[in-house]
Amino acid sequence: MIKNIITFLSSIFLLFNSNLLADEKDGKLRVGLLAPFSGEYKNLGESLLLSTQLALDEIDNKNIIIIPRDSGSNDKEKLNAAIKEILDNGAKIIIGPMTSSFSEELRKYNDTIFISLSNKETKISNNVINIGISLESQLDAIEQLLIKEKKTETIILYPKNKYEKFIDKKIKSLKLKNYKIFKYNSDPRILTGEIEKFTNYSQRKKNLETRKNILKKLDDDRSKKELEILDRLYTLGSLNFDSVIVIDFGNNLKSVLSSLVYTDVDDETVLIATVNQWFDESIFRENLVKNLYFPSVDMKQFKKYNERYFETFGIKPNEITILAYDALGLIYYIWNKNNGISNINDFFIKKKFKGKIGTFEFKEKKVSQQLKIYKTEKNKFKEY
């Protein structure tokens, strides 16, 4: 299978690089693709290329020419060399790079439009549009969920790491009135103790023991029934919040969720939400939170994309590659609508653009995605 994929990739490179020297005014849409075809992210680069091929097949327009070039993995020199090669071959619009690491470098190419797959910044700069699933879009979706569920006292949890200042900034854009921020240590040996503090676990546990001791001294039926109920509890006493937002991923997220369950935060009464998890089914394992909410891309479209990708290439795609798929669709939409692309202002469209991941909106020089809310229920993902 690997040999077949390598052969297929080679043929795609040959196909994408044919007819590149044609006249710029020949009516063709030339699009560059910056992807890491070497280095530690090589597999991701190849997956991005295959995703672009899927988009080409669906668009089915022979006037589109893709020019893929190796941007390397965090390699500034290779990135610049790749951009120059793409420009020399007549492209004025480029899909990539994946991250915002070299955003300053991109500004040097004033006449080039970059559709970056980064999710760090929603503002459209002079020549860069980031279409990644932004934290702002995710928090906006969660905010609407809390309003619908009439939750008014929210705790926002996220780890103390290099991203906390970035998260601080994005949280300030929220319209939530009553929320508190709690930053935790990612070390699970420390984490549980920190969660105990903000849930007031020790006091609630003492409340339970105190009440049970009182009831044990009483002999009436009412007290006995209450004691039976309390024997099934771990704590007694209300929490000072009705909703929790956890901004974390992977094992760190699972550790936080486990700590919330351990400290007797009941997900039947407290709404627990997290950020986009790309429908990762491992969240069902080692996770005692049965009702977990999160914003995400359109699940049906995401599954269809994954299935089509696997049917075509025999391998599973990296999640981020669906962004490259939508990027080419967006570029083609603008190009076809305007009979060409002159500059970045062509992307400031009034209508919303519906892609595979969801609906994009370009408003006030910002990109946002209208994400849906999903929840885990009986080891399945269900749309809210």
User: In this structure, what are the phi and psi dihedrals at residue 29, rounded to the nearest 5 degrees?
Assistant: -95, 115
The answer as to whether 231 is a domain residue is: no
Q: How many residues does the chain have?
A: 384
The answer as to whether 31 is a domain residue is: yes
Residues 22 and 97 reside in one and the same domain: yes
Cβ 323 vs Cβ 132: under 8 Å: yes
Q: What is the predicted pLDDT for the residue at 225?
A: 93
Query: Domain ends where: 296, 321, 344?
Result: 296
Q: Which stretches of the chain drop beneath a pLDDT of 50?
A: 1-4, 6-7, 9-11, 14-15, 18-23
Checking 360-368 for CB contacts under 8 A at 24+ apart, the result is 360/131, 360/326, 360/330, 362/124, 365/123, 365/124, 366/122, 366/123, 366/124, 367/122, 367/124, 367/129, 367/130, 367/131, 367/134, 368/122, 368/134, 368/136, 368/137, 368/140
Residues 41 and 61 reside in one and the same domain: yes
Task: Report the C-alpha gap between 68 and 74 in whole angstroms.
Answer: 17
Q: Which of 368, 378, 370 is nearest to 122 (CA)?
A: 368
Residues 104 and 189 reside in one and the same domain: no
Cβ 355 vs Cβ 329: under 8 Å: yes
Cβ 76 vs Cβ 102: under 8 Å: yes
The radius of gyration computed from the CA coordinates of the chain, to the nearest angstrom, equals 25
Residues 307 and 320 reside in one and the same domain: yes
* Domain harbouring 155, CATH code: 3.40.50.2300
In b/e form, how buried is each residue of 95-111, taking b as 16+ CB within 10 angstroms?
bbbbbbebbeebeebee
Residues 126 and 7 reside in one and the same domain: yes
Q: What is the predicted pLDDT for the residue at 323?
A: 92
Query: Domain ends where: 255, 277, 296?
Result: 296
The residue to which tokens 């109920």 are assigned: 229
The answer as to whether 270 is a domain residue is: yes
Query: Domain ends where: 296, 327, 344?
Result: 296
Task: Report the C-alpha gap between 166 and 125 in whole angstroms.
Answer: 18
Task: Report the C-alpha gap between 250 and 256 in whole angstroms.
Answer: 10
The answer as to whether 213 is a domain residue is: no
Give the count of domains, the chain.
2
Residue 76: CA count within 13 A, CB half-sphere:
6
Q: Is the pTM for the entire model greater than 0.75? A: yes
Residues 159 and 269 reside in one and the same domain: yes
Q: What is the predicted pLDDT for the residue at 73?
A: 81
The answer as to whether 375 is a domain residue is: no
302-313 pLDDT, tens digit each: 999 999 999 999
Q: What is the predicted pLDDT for the residue at 64?
A: 94
Residues 146 and 180 reside in one and the same domain: yes
The answer as to whether 354 is a domain residue is: yes
H or E stretch covering 258: helix 250-262
Residues 315 and 283 reside in one and the same domain: no
Residues 27 and 121 reside in one and the same domain: yes
The answer as to whether 204 is a domain residue is: no
Residues 187 and 267 reside in one and the same domain: yes
Q: Which of 102, 156, 159, 150 is nearest to 125 (CA)?
A: 102
Domain region containing 314: 2-133+299-369
User: In this structure, what are the phi and psi dihedrals at residue 278, rounded to the nearest 5 degrees?
Assistant: 55, 30
The answer as to whether 206 is a domain residue is: no
Residues 292 and 303 reside in one and the same domain: no
What is the DSSP code string of 34-78?
A: EE--SSTTHHHHHHHHHHHHHHHHHH--TTEEEEEEE-TTT-HHH
Residues 6 and 111 reside in one and the same domain: yes
